[in-house]
């Protein structure tokens, strides 16, 4: 399975690439400065079946081609957004982005989830590591997005999924060794029948 990975210029992206490869996927990496023409060509030529939007250091408005990739391919190709990628999903579909109640940098939280989708088979709650200062504002969640995970300590939105499109975002970092169930999240994303 070919997986397009949009690199939002972050060191964590290659952990994601490694996990994808370990699960049998073939990652094709473009940084977020690539053009939509290059991305669309790669999607067609490589018959891309999944897209991952990586973490990154900026705000969704500064995430290069990431938002357009979500708009263009979200209705037809399953997308997983991680951290900044998750925030981009919220931004594209109309959620407001706000400062987190507490800055989280390498901190773990217990995450409670809805038990389905990418969380199938995971303990509930499970421990995940967080590296972020921004979150999706749960009070501005658009009708098209469903909150499917929250942090137990500060009640922030930790995952959303689109109600009609195969688009899911996670605020935590499944690619970190501190998220013990992270590989299973990636495996579920690759194996779910969207």
Could you list the active site residues?
83, 173, 175
Beta strands at 97-113 and 26-31: parallel, antiparallel or unpaired: unpaired
Distance CA 130, CA 119 (A): 17
Per the omega criterion (within 30 degrees of 0), is the bond before 45 cis? no
Token representation of residue 20: 């994808």
Token representation of residue 176: 């970190």
Distance CA 116, CA 108 (A): 22
Phi-psi map region of 64: left, alpha, beta (phi>0 left; psi -120 to 50 alpha)? left
| H or E element in which residue 97 lies | strand 97-113
Token representation of residue 17: 């690439």
Per the omega criterion (within 30 degrees of 0), is the bond before 37 cis? no
Quote the DSSP letter at residue 138: G
């Amino acid at each position: 399975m070919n997986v397009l990975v949009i690199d939002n210029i972050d060191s964590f992206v290659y952990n994601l690439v490694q996990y994808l490869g370990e699960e049998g996927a073939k990652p094709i990496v473009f940084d977020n400065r690539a053009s939509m023409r290059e991305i669309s060509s790669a999607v067609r030529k490589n018959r891309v079946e999944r897209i991952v939007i990586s973490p990154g250091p900026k705000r969704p408005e500064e995430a290069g081609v990431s938002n357009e990739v979500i708009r263009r391919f979200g209705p037809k190709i399953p997308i997983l957004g991680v951290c900044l990628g998750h925030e981009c999903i919220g931004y594209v579909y109309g959620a407001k982005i706000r400062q987190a109640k507490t800055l989280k940098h390498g901190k773990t939280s217990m995450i409670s989830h809805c038990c389905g989708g990418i969380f199938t088979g995971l303990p509930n709650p499970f421990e995940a590591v967080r590296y972020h200062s921004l979150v999706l504002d749960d009070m501005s969640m658009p009708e098209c997005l469903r909150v499917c995970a929250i942090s137990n300590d500060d009640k922030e939105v930790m995952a959303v999924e689109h109600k009609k499109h195969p688009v899911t975002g996670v605020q935590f970092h499944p690619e970190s060794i501190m998220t013990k169930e992270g590989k299973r999240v990636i495996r579920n994303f690759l194996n779910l029948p969207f």
